[in-house]
Amino acid sequence: MSGQRNRVGGARRPARGRRRDQGSNGSMAAFLVGVAIIAGLIGYALQKITADDSGTPGAVATNSAPPPGAATPSQLTGLSAEDVAIRLAGAGMPLRTRVVYTATDDPNQLLGKPGGYTSKIAFSDERTGVNVATVTSRDPIEQGGSIEVFPDEAAASSRVEELSAVSSSSQLLQEFDYRQGTVVLRVSKYLTKEDAKAYGDALATLATSAPSDTAPTAATVPEG
């Protein structure tokens, strides 16, 4: 009987061993599944990181199909300051070009200079209440405003920063300044904020909208 129990007991030990092997195999399978899931998540995360704004991995913009949200060329590119004034007048702004400056009479001596503008005009707006005949300042922004066009956006942006610093230094020198691309629009402090903002809004619209074929021309009057 003792030998029989030993044989029976001996026969049962391999069975317990098989159950342990089956348990180990199950644990290993679960581990491998977990590794596969983690690897998949890492791959997905890397895919999202390398995807562009459209969600397409590795998408490259071409000239014929710019990506969504890409900046469109400004409709003001290539225009002179006088051209911009004409378009603002065509958009309904009550301005009247007073002076088209040259390098000789430019009040800031920036016309045609490195980092300076390529064209500049001064305009009047009757809503300021300023009598243009009494304006004596070299750069008569108070009568309405001025438009300056630069060769690149960096120069235009630098000009706005300069004007902002000057404007904040004294109430006598305050003005409203707006920029679209290479165009800087300076507006008189004697206009209300709403009227000044209308100039800025009109300039922004002109920068993104095709010009009208029937846009009127702005009147230009001699200086003084």
Tokens of 100: 């088209």
pLDDT of residue 18: 53
**Alpha-carbon distance 34 to 190, whole Å?**
71
pTM of the model: 0.64
Sketch the domain layout of the chain as residue ranges.
1-67, 81-208
Per-residue pLDDT of 150-188, as tens digits, reads 999 999 999 999 999 998 888 888 999 999 999 999 999
Is 121 strand, coil or helix?
A: strand
Is 145 strand, coil or helix?
A: strand
Contact between 81 and 121 under an 8 Å Cβ cutoff? The reply is: yes
Tell whether the model's pLDDT for residue 123 goes beyond 90: yes
Contact between 185 and 178 under an 8 Å Cβ cutoff? The reply is: yes
Question: DSSP letters of 158-203?
Answer: HHHHHHHHHHHH-GGG-EEEEEETTEEEEEETTS-HHHHHHHHHHH
Confidence grade of residue 105 (pLDDT, cut at 50, 70, 90): very high
Tell whether the model's pLDDT for residue 26 goes beyond 70: no
Per-residue pLDDT of 194-221, as tens digits, reads 999 999 999 999 999 876 643 555 555 4
Question: DSSP letters of 25-85?
Answer: HHHHHHHHHHHHHHHHHHHHHHHHHHB-TTS-BT----SSSPPTTPPPPPTTTT--HHHHH
What lies within 8 Å, CB to CB, of 47 at 6+ separation is: 57
